[in-house]
Amino acid sequence: MLSKDMTIRNASGFHIRPAQLFTEKAAAFKADITVQVQKNSDQVEVDGKSVLGLMTLGLEKGSVIRITTNGTDAQEALDALAQLVESGFGEA
């Protein structure tokens, strides 16, 4: 199991387009992928391959998430998803 903490960088946060891009990228891997965020005193975890799950997190610019991958291609999945988040999902 691998994980990496990331900060949402794009100005509009994690709206439908970034969520769609994230799930499309995640679906390309066999690894189980989860996204976690701290909400008040609770740790919330959703399936990284679920657009609806990701949208329920309500992530804004500056939100810190933890991407966790587990499976045969876990490292490749984590690297690809981290690169996507770091790129700001291609938004200017």
The upper half-sphere exposure of residue 59, i.e. CA atoms within 13 Å in the direction of its Cβ, equals 32
Q: Which two tokens stand for residue 57?
A: 């997190």
Active site residue 84: no
CB atoms within 10 A of CB 64: 12
- Tell me which of 15, 47, 55, 82 is the catalytic residue: 15
Active site residues: 15
